[in-house]
Amino acid sequence: MKDTEQRILEAAGRLFSQRGFHATGMRAIARAAKVSLGTIYHHFKSKDELLLALIQQEVDELKSFLNELISQQLPPVEIIHRMVERHFQRLGEKQQVMQVVQREWFAPSTQLHRKLRALLEEVAASVRELIRQGVRAGEIRPCNPTVVTYAILGVVMGITPRALEGDAVAREILEHGPREVGELLVRWLIPEGGKR
């Protein structure tokens, strides 16, 4: 990615996290990135497109993280546990951006929702393949990889809105969620009598 685009994305991500997506204007992003407003519009047609680019980066980083774990030849359930841990870590770092994603996810009539769904499908395809391989190797109990993939995503996405509320319960979820949700999924996925 070009330096200017990356600078714009970093500024947008920082401001979305500090002020919120809807409270952040393109002019503020231009000031923070030290570029003209025209430069932003040359690279990104809208604030929605900026958000999607940030999320695409996150998806690309997640896929890279997944490939790195696979290259270490870790068991599939350990990889899934580490992906859950990473999700909670990123929630803590990018709460405002993740709140926008959650809001748009539950507004299925928007164009942004449809684009977010396509990005989620990229992640789902990687997890589904990991589960397929784990089932074939006997490291994950026999299951339908598609159903299990969306069940895992449902658990993680289901707890995410509450983890983003910023109160004591949210802090507790962010602190203990990686271990608890990860362990829950591991116990669910390992074959009977299998070891982690």
Domain boundaries, position 32? 1-45
Could you give the CA distance from residue 160 to residue 74 in angstroms, rounded to a whole number? 26
Residues 27 and 10 in one domain: yes
Residue 13 banded pLDDT, cuts 50, 70, 90: confident
Number of domains present in the structure of the chain: 2
Tokens of 100: 């926008």
Contact in structure between 163 and 170 (CB atoms under 8 Å): yes
Identify the CA nearest to 57 among candidates 20, 4, 13, 114: 13
Residue 127 banded pLDDT, cuts 50, 70, 90: very high
Residues 159 and 63 in one domain: yes
Q: So what's the pLDDT on residue 196?
A: 56
Global pTM value: 0.76
Residues 88 and 184 in one domain: yes
Q: What are phi and psi of 139, to 5 degrees?
A: -90, -15
